[in-house]
């Protein structure tokens, strides 16, 4: 009973408070990261069902994500990085201890990930569609390549759509909590779309069927967020 009540409260808050919904736009991504805030989930735990189940969402957000955040904040204070923008930290991540890399990545990556999913079916905005067609040939080809990156990442990690310094879109995958902003990855860029392929993101519902989880991701992508992130580069 206690647990159900908690879910209801969180779900209601996520719908009622405008600040939470704005996590989806890039301007507010920046606002969130400026003060290293712990943002509320922009939808209820059960909002992405049947593609992401409520139990997974609750554990993922309230335990895994909270854990990365708390450890990052503790490490950041120790390293006097509490006021340093995440982009700056990641640009010199090779100078930082593992705790900053793993937990700072965990905090940042999940924040992007929550924001680029939505229970509301979205069409791909024209600007983003044109960019995907230009750099991948077609939207379907892009989805195919991104899905492949997500499905073939060995062990825990992430799949990404990012934009490089020249404005070209590219797909990559990173291990653990690394991301395309870090100066240790093969291809650096600004991430636009994130997909978590750690087992904790899907195992309760999909067990070993990561491919099914990845294919279902396309039903809940918030293309407006991706478009906003591209527009604000």
By the criterion CB under 5 A, which residues form the site for Mn ion? 196, 198, 201
In the bound state with Mn ion, the residue whose beta carbon lies nearer, of 196 and 224, is: 196
In the bound state with Mn ion, the residue whose beta carbon lies nearer, of 61 and 125, is: 61
98 closest CA partner among 135, 59, 68, 139: 68
Q: Answer for the pair 110, 29: CB distance below 8 angstroms, yes or no.
A: no
How far apart are the C-alpha atoms of 47 and 50, rounded to whole Å? 9
How far apart are the C-alpha atoms of 132 and 153, rounded to whole Å? 22
**Least CB distance to Mn ion at residue 198 (A):** 5
In the bound state with Mn ion, the residue whose beta carbon lies nearer, of 198 and 223, is: 198
Region label for 155, one of left (φ > 0), alpha (ψ between -120 and 50) or beta (otherwise): left
**Least CB distance to Mn ion at residue 107 (A):** 11
**Least CB distance to Mn ion at residue 163 (A):** 23
Query: Which pair of structure tokens corresponds to residue 70?
Result: 């708390």
In the bound state with Mn ion, the residue whose beta carbon lies nearer, of 117 and 132, is: 117
In the bound state with Mn ion, the residue whose beta carbon lies nearer, of 107 and 136, is: 107
How far is residue 116 from each of residues 23, 43, 58, measured CA to CA in Å? 9, 12, 17
For residue 68, say if its preceding peptide bond is cis, omega within 30 degrees of 0: no
**Least CB distance to Mn ion at residue 184 (A):** 20
**Least CB distance to Mn ion at residue 13 (A):** 22
- With CB atoms as reference, the residue minimizing the distance to Mn ion is 196
């Amino acid at each position: 009973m206690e647990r159900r009540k908690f879910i209801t409260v969180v779900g209601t808050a996520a719908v009622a408070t405008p600040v939470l919904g704005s996590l989806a736009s890039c301007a507010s991504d920046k606002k969130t990261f400026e003060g290293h805030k712990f943002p509320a989930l922009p939808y209820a735990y059960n909002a992405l069902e049947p593609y992401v189940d409520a139990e997974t969402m609750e554990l993922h957000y309230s335990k895994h994500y909270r854990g990365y955040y708390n450890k990052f904040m503790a490490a950041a204070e120790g390293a006097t990085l509490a006021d340093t923008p995440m982009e700056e930290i990641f640009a010199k991540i090779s100078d930082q201890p593992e705790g900053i890399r793993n937990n700072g990545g965990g905090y940042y990556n999940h924040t992007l990930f929550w924001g680029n999913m939505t229970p509301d079916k979205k069409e791909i905005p024209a600007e983003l569609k044109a960019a995907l067609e230009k750099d991948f040939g077609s939207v379907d080809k892009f989805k195919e390549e991104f899905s492949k990156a997500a499905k073939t990442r060995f062990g825990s990690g992430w799949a990404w759509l990012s934009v490089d310094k020249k404005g070209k879109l590219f797909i990559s995958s990173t291990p653990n909590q690394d991301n395309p902003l870090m100066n240790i990855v093969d291809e650096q860029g600004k991430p636009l779309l994130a997909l978590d392929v750690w087992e904790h993101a899907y195992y309760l519902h999909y067990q070993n069927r990561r491919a099914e989880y990845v294919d279902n991701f396309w039903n809940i992508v918030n293309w407006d967020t991706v478009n906003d992130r591209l527009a604000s580069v």
